């Protein structure tokens, strides 16, 4: 049992925090938000320069080969900074998929470019009808000579408009779950972009006879690697959300300390003090669960891992709602405006509640594995 960070971990956190503080202050973030793309390639390359995009790239491909704790710390900082760039999707999930599934050749082909920021890759996995079974994939991959032909639909791929590479899950003719590296400029790949509540972009992806080379298939049976990558991504998303909650709470306490009504800072009113005490308790719960997610997401016992992640996401979703709503309420009218950062933390936390399985879904998953002893 050890709750300390190694020196390297602490340095990583400091690096990411310093980046946010110096290069990604709220005003800059809002300019990125208002830009046509909605994200910043300049920022992306800065993250690459800092080595943060190489975090989950194995050392064999020149990366840092770091683990879930390091990812958690970086994502904490990026959540604090309300980062608009696809860090979790590309630098955690997609990177993990290629690192685990790819042949040496494929790894060499993609991972250095992911680390350098030239390639933004995203996993396109969920489908409109996938329901609760993550392995239920209806997208089909058919071998046609030297190519694979992909047909299907993928839903709400976060950040998809920013990607130049999609990792598409599909079932082959012998019903194996496989993953294909699909450049977004391949004919037959169509993106229907959507704006989301947290000022990000998602897209439904339509694959209508999209053709990729034989070598585009990553590994053989992808089910285990997909589960691993999705779980690593879930833990990273939890860390991002914890960063946002932490900052939303601190901002709220500061506001209540400085905002004066009836001749006193509103933070001196007992009912608001107790409200903030409740928020702090939820924040500590969220921190604990973010630790749990990072600690469990690579656990080899799949049942235990899934239960821990379900517990973490469900409770953190509830904490996110509580802290977000109370942060707005305690900011009063100012919390309703687009101008202050607080409403943007609120909206990021709403997105967290529903992404990668909603609070209700994870609570249900946890409930279903309850045993009497």
Partner 1 sequence: MNLNFDSQQLAFRDELRAFLRDHLPADIRTRMRDGDHSHIREDISDWQKILHRQGWGAPAWPKEFGGPGWSKPQQYIFDVECALADAPEQLAFGLKMVGPVIMRYGNAEQQQRFLPRIVAADDWWCQGYSEPGSGSDLASLRTRAERAGNDYIVNGQKVWNTLGQFANWIFCLVRTGNGGKPQQGISFLLIDMRTPGVKVQPTRLLDGGFEVNEIWFENVRVPMGNLIGEENRGWTYAKFLLGHERSNVAGIGAIKRELLRLKQIAARTQGETASLLHDPIFATRIAQVEIELRALEIISLRAMFEAERNSAPGPEASILKTRGTEIRQRISELQIDALGEAALTIAPRIDDDTPRAMLDYLNLRKLSIFGGSNEIQRNIIAQRILGL
The mark string for 90-129 relative to partner 1 (x by CB under 8 A, - otherwise) is ----------------------------------------
> Rounded to an integer, what distance in angstroms lies between the CA atom of residue 14 and that of residue 74?
9
Q: Which of 209, 152, 159, 158 is nearest to 177 (CA)?
A: 152
Cα–Cα distance for residue pair 328/337, rounded to 1 Å: 10
Binds partner 1 by CB under 8 A, chosen from 178, 346, 348, 349: 346
358 binds, among its own copies, partner 1, none (CB under 5 to 8 A by kind): partner 1
Residue 198 contact partner, candidates partner 1, its own copies, none, CB within 5 to 8 A by sort of partner: partner 1
- Minimum CB separation of residue 325 from its own copies in Å reads 17
3 binds partner 1 (CB under 8 A): yes
Contact 135, 147 (CB under 8 A): no
CB 61 to partner 1: min, Å: 26
Residue closer to partner 1, measured from CB, 220 or 336: 336
Please identify, among the stretches 37-45, 172-180, 207-215, 334-342, the one whose residues bind partner 1 according to the rule CB under 8 A: 334-342
Minimum distance from residue 268 beta carbon to its own copies (Å): 10
In whole angstroms, the minimum distance from the beta carbon of 354 to its own copies comes to 23
Q: Tokens at residue 183, please?
A: 């450049």
Q: Which partner, its own copies, partner 1, none, binds residue 156 by CB below 5 to 8 Å per kind? A: partner 1
Return phi, psi of residue 339, to 5°. -70, -45
Residue among 46 and 362 whose Cβ is closer to partner 1? 362
Going by their DSSP bridges, the two strands 201-213 and 147-158 should be labelled as antiparallel
What token pair was written down for 303?
Answer: 């049942």
Question: 148: part of which helix (H) or strand (E)?
Answer: strand 147-158
Residue 48 beta carbon to partner 1: minimum distance, rounded to whole angstroms: 26
| Burial track 126-144 (b if 16+ CB lie within 10 A, e otherwise) | bbeebeeebeebebebeee
Q: Compose the 197-226 pattern: x for residues touching partner 1 by CB under 8 A, - for all others.
A: xx---x------------------------
Neighbours of 38 (CB within 10 A): 18
- Comparing CB distances to its own copies, the nearer of 31 and 274 is 274
| Residue for token pair 């005003």 | 27
Judge contact between 99 and 65, C-beta under 8 A: no
Token pair belonging to 50? 């800092």
- Of 251-290, binders to its own copies (CB under 8 A) are 269-271, 273-274
Q: Quote the longest CA-to-CA distance of the chain.
A: 79
**Does residue 4 touch its own copies according to CB under 8 A?**
no
């Amino acid at each position: 049992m050890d709750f300390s960070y190694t020196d390297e971990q602490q340095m990583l956190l400091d690096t990411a925090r310093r980046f946010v503080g110096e290069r990604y202050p709220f005003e800059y973030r809002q300019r990125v938000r208002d830009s046509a793309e909605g994200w910043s390639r300049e920022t992306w390359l800065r993250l690459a320069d800092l080595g943060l995009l190489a975090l989950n790239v194995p050392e064999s491909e020149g990366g840092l080969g770091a683990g879930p704790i390091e990812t958690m710390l970086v994502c904490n900082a990026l959540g604090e900074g309300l980062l608009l760039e696809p860090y979790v999707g590309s630098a955690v999930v997609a990177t993990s998929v290629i690192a685990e599934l790819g042949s040496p050749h494929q790894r060499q082909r993609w991972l250095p470019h992911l680390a350098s920021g030239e390639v933004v890759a995203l996993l396109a996995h969920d489908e409109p009808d996938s329901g609760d079974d993550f392995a239920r994939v209806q997208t089909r991959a058919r071998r046609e000579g030297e190519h694979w032909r992909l047909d299907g639909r993928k839903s709400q791929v976060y950040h998809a408009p920013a990607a130049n590479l999609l990792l598409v899950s599909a079932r082959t003719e012998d019903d194996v779950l496989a993953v294909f590296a699909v450049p977004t400029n391949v004919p037959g790949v169509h993106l229907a972009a959507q704006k989301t509540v947290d000022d990000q972009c998602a897209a439904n992806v339509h694959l209508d006879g999209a053709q990729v080379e034989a070598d585009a298939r990553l590994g053989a049976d992808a089910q285990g690697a997909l589960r691993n990558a999705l779980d690593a991504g879930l833990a990273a998303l939890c860390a991002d959300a914890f960063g946002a909650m932490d900052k939303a709470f601190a901002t709220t306490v500061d506001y209540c300390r400085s905002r004066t009504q009836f001749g006193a800072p509103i933070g001196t009113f007992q009912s608001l003090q107790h409200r903030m005490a409740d928020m702090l308790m939820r924040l500590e719960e969220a921190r604990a669960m973010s630790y749990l997610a990072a600690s469990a997401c690579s656990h080899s016992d799949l049942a235990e891992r899934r239960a821990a992640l379900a517990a973490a996401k469900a409770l953190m979703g509830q904490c996110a709602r509580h802290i977000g709503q109370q942060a707005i309420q305690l900011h009063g009218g100012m919390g309703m405006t687009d101008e202050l950062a607080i409403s943007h933390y609120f909206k990021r936390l709403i997105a967290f509640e529903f992404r990668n399985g909603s609070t209700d879904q994870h609570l249900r998953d946890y409930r279903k594995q309850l045993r009497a002893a």
